[in-house]
């Protein structure tokens, strides 16, 4: 007779918390590049799969980032502030790049769940 799994179901995390955990996983796996110059270098060397920014990034920095790497890698704004992300980076950082393909897909999915990524269908309205 087969055993039944009596383990309680895990509570579903809020989308922002799931994104935070995905970014933390990237950091622990050594696949997270932090800081404007380091992210720019990773993009130019084709090591970055995804670039994310904190929600409170300055408009000028975001403009510089899009100019520098916008043609190379997709740049998305996370619904997380630099203060929240400081627990991961150990200091306030506004620009992050994921250098692992599978972890970039995980972060992309979490960004989609948060509503940070607009689909083409949403933009046509």
Cβ pair 95, 61 in contact under 8 A: yes
CATH code for the domain defined by 15-116? 3.30.1330.30
**pLDDT tens-place values along the chain, 125 residues long:** 566 666 666 667 787 888 888 889 999 999 999 999 999 999 999 899 999 999 898 999 889 988 988 888 888 888 888 888 888 888 888 999 999 999 999 999 888 888 777 754 443 44
Give the per-residue pLDDT at 124.
40
**CA angle (118 as vertex; 53, 105 as ends), nearest 5:** 60
The whole-number pLDDT of residue 89 equals 83
Cα–Cα distance measured from residue 21 to residue 12, given in angstroms and rounded to the nearest whole number? 13
Whole-number Å distance between alpha carbons of 116 and 113: 8
If DSSP states are collapsed to H, E and C, what string results for the chain? CCCCCCCCCCCCCCHHHHHHHHHHHHHHCCCEEECHHHHHHHHHCCCCCEEEECCCCCHHHHHHHHHHHCCCCCEEECCCCHHHHHHHHCCCCCEEEECCHHHHHHHHHHHHHHCCCCCHHHHCC
């Amino acid at each position: 007779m087969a055993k039944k799994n009596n383990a309680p179901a895990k509570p579903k995390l809020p989308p922002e918390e799931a994104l935070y955990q995905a970014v933390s996983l990237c950091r622990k796996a050594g696949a997270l590049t932090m800081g404007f110059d380091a992210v720019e270098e990773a993009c130019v060397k084709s090591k970055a799969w995804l670039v994310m920014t904190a929600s409170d990034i300055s408009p000028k920095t975001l403009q510089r980032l899009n100019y520098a790497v916008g043609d190379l890698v997709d740049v998305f704004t996370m619904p997380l502030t630099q203060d929240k992300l400081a627990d991961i980076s150990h200091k306030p950082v506004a620009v992050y790049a994921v250098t692992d393909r599978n972890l970039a897909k995980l972060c992309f999915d979490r960004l989609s769940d948060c509503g940070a990524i607009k689909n083409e269908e949403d933009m046509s309205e």
